[in-house]
Structure 1
Amino acid sequence: MTNPTTQIALKNNTSSSVVYAYVTGLDINKNNAYGFLQPDGKTLYYPDSPSQVQQPLAVDCAIPLGAPGTTTTVTIPQLAGGRIWFAVDNKLTFLLNPGPGIVEPSVTNTDDLNYKLNWGFCEFTCYVDFVAIPIALELLNTAGNKQVVQGLPTDGLDQICAQLTQQGASENGIWDKLIVKGPDGKNLRAMSPNSGRIGNSGLFDGYYQPYVDEAWSKYTNTDLKVDTQAQWGIAHSPSHPPSTSSAAARGPSGTYPIQTRDEMGAIGARLAAAFNRSTLISNPDQPDAIQNGANNYYKTNPTNHYARIVHGVNLDGRGYAFPYDDVVPSGATGPDQAGTVFDGSPELLTVTVGGPNGGSVGNGREDKGAAGDGDKEKKKTAFDFPALFKKIMAMLKGIFRK
């Protein structure tokens, strides 16, 4: 953002009068120092490095939001990697390790002090890790234009859990294992498949195997085109399986030569999105040539039913449900599924916790990093596409991974 500061309006739309917010991020004007916004709503606390691990913060940075329906406005400097955390009925515990290293609340570590508490955070309405408290965003820029992401309805978590239970009943009790109950027996959160596997490593083993096998069988004889939607143009799959040497265990980004790393990341993102949405087999022109776009996502089994259900329950269908959920067909003009808001000149970001205020859906934004017309020129790739394709499918053999 270009403005030195931005106002954030934090609205309590829950039924509780005990709701706390925490605003964290890297202050780009202080060498990316990790900062916590203090309860005065304008001063950042920068933790010092402790001499021992698991030390408490020196400052209580819980921002009380007041009674239901009230709004608390805070002001932040230019932050990178910013998050807004919310906790209902309790405060959250952040700890410090030498560095300083920030120990944030975890939904996968059952020993974490926050594990049984009702909390969530917003990071562009991200559901990659889990779903919990409904959070909605509205961004107003200095020209008076608004972007709105409505988020979940008040009972959104219960709706998601009910549908996961239903899906689990039809698929041998898999999907309902993503539901976490609180001490009172009520739904506390719904985990993503990635997060669910951290506590249960065997969850989803073999789930995607039939789809992986069918995709590989098809594209050993059929040309698969992946539009990078960037300067690299369109990559083509081989017409035969890769050799053992070319299919060495290379990841989609980090272990490839730096000269082709970004290009391969663009291809890998689009293949991962196609697998999660189960559009890879039906569409040899990724991510384009999908009639009606999102209306044809998640139509076959196996698929990422967590993502399908989360999008279906969100009031406007938008929310980042898996890594690379921001991939869209070239030239798409409607709101992206990822549920991001972005502006170079923001004036006020309103974050509502607990459910919607009502009103109409705002205008969506096409993510320039994920869509855009790009360079459509067909060109020969400068790297080993067969190896990348096979590696991604190997990663998806029974699991959902980034």
Structure 2
Amino acid sequence: MVDDTRIIAPGHGLDAGLFAEDYLAPYIDEVWSTYTGRDLKVTTNAGTFTGRVRGDRFTFDGPAQVAFDKPSTRDVLFCDGALAAPNDGTTGPVAAVLGAGFNRSTLLSHPEQPTADPARFYLTELTNHYSKAMHAATEDGKAYGFAFDDVADFASYIQDTAPTALRLTLTPFE
């Protein structure tokens, strides 16, 4: 809450010094530790990537090899930095799924990502409570609470993945 008038996203609160910079660090550390000893599978349009923490990096094999440094709380909240998602069809989609898993706190409970059941989201103490509240406040449970909240179709927009036509009608403002 800012001046009792506005709720800001936690990433912006972090940048404004209103939110703990290391809030998600224990969860991030636990994910890193867990996947040192077991595989995480991430499925994207490019195929299934199998990852494990090797050294300091989460390395995935599959249709291509992609790797990520351990993210900070800020990286998770913005899906940026160590979780930056280039529009390359491989690294970007895996980063987006990881970002969603961190924000929804499903990475430890579900070693196959993305998790598509919203009843499984936000069940840990360390989670993106802002996004949880945004989704709870919408009629259909869809909102954009963090970057890549569209992973598994939870963003608040309409899309048609196989359009055959488009009609656009513009009328004058009156």
Answer yes or no: same fold by TM over 0.5: yes
Question: Could you tell me how far 1:188 is from its partner in structure 2?
Answer: 3.2
SS of the residue 2:139 aligns to: coil
Aligned counterpart in structure 1 of residue 105 of structure 2, from 261, 270, 278: 278
Do structure 1's residue 262 and structure 2's residue 83 form an aligned pair?
no
Paired position in structure 1 for 2:149: 325
**2:32, 2:53 within 8 Å by CA — same for their partners in 1?**
no
Shift of 1:226: 0.7
1:235 to 43, 49, 54: 49
Q: Which residue of 2 is the match for residue 180 of structure 1?
A: 2
1:4-36 Cα distance to aligned partner (Å, 9 max, x none): xxxxxxxxxxxxxxxxxxxxxxxxxxxxxxxxx
2:124 corresponds to 1:307: no
Q: TM-score, normalised by structure 2?
A: 0.71
The CA distance in 1 between the partners of 2:133 and 2:150, in whole Å, is 17
**1:217 matched to which residue of 2?**
33
Give runs of ≥4 in structure 1 deviating > 6 Å. Answer: 246-250
How has the CA–CA distance of structure 1 residues 348 and 281 changed in structure 2, closer, same or farther, with 3 Å as cutoff? farther
Query: CA offsets, 1:37-82, max 9 Å, x none?
Result: xxxxxxxxxxxxxxxxxxxxxxxxxxxxxxxxxxxxxxxxxxxxxx
Q: What's the Cα RMSD here?
A: 2.8
Q: Give me the whole-angstrom Cα distance separating, in 2, the residues matched to 1:195 and 1:247.
A: 23
Q: CA deviation at 1:241?
A: 3.1
Structure-to-structure mapping, 1:310-389, within 5 angstroms: 310-328=134-152, 336-342=153-159, 345-346=166-167
Cα drift, residue 319 of structure 1:
1.3
Alignment length (residue pairs) = 146
Question: Within 1, Cα distance between the matches of 2:68 and 2:121?
Answer: 29
Q: What SS does structure 1 have at the residue aligned with 2:6? A: strand
Unaligned runs of 5+ in 2: 58-66, 71-80
* 2:28 pairs with 1:206: no
| Pairwise CA distance, 1:301 | 1.5
**Structure 2 vs 1, CA of residues 196 and 247 (structure 1 numbering), >3 Å: closer, same or farther?**
closer
Measure the CA separation in 2 of the matches of 1:262 and 1:188: 40
SS at match of 1:190: coil
The residue aligned with 1:139 is none
What does residue range 133-152 of structure 1 map to in structure 2 within 5 Å? none
* 1:190 alignment counterpart: 7
Report which structure shows greater RCO (CA 8 Å, sep ≥6). Answer: 1
TM-score, with normalisation over the residues of structure 1?
A: 0.33
SS in 2 for 1:237: strand
For residues 105 and 69 of structure 2, what CA distance do their matches in structure 1 show? 25
Displacement of 1:194: 1.5
Deviation at 1:189, TM superposition (A): 2.3
Give CA-to-partner distance per residue, 1:243-287, whole Å, 9 cap, x none: 7xx877984445xxx9xx431000000000000000000111111
Question: Which residue identity lines up with residue 339 of structure 1 in the other structure?
Answer: S
Structure-1 separation of matches of 2:69 and 2:125: 29
Aligned to 1:93: none
Q: Structure 2 counterpart of 1:191, which letter?
A: I
Greater helix fraction, Structure 1 or Structure 2: 2
Matches within 5 A, 1:51-62: none
Output the amino acid matched with 2:48. I
CA drift at 1:347: 5.3
Which whole-Å deviations, capped at 9, do the CAs of 1:84-112 have from their partners, x for residues lacking one? xxxxxxxxxxxxxxxxxxxxxxxxxxxxx
Tell me: CA distance 1:347–1:239, structure 2 relative to 1, closer, same or farther (3 Å): closer
Is there any run of 5+ residues in structure 1 with no aligned partner, and where? 1-178, 182-186, 329-335, 350-402
Could you tell me how far 1:316 is from its partner in structure 2?
2.4
SS at the partner of 2:90? helix
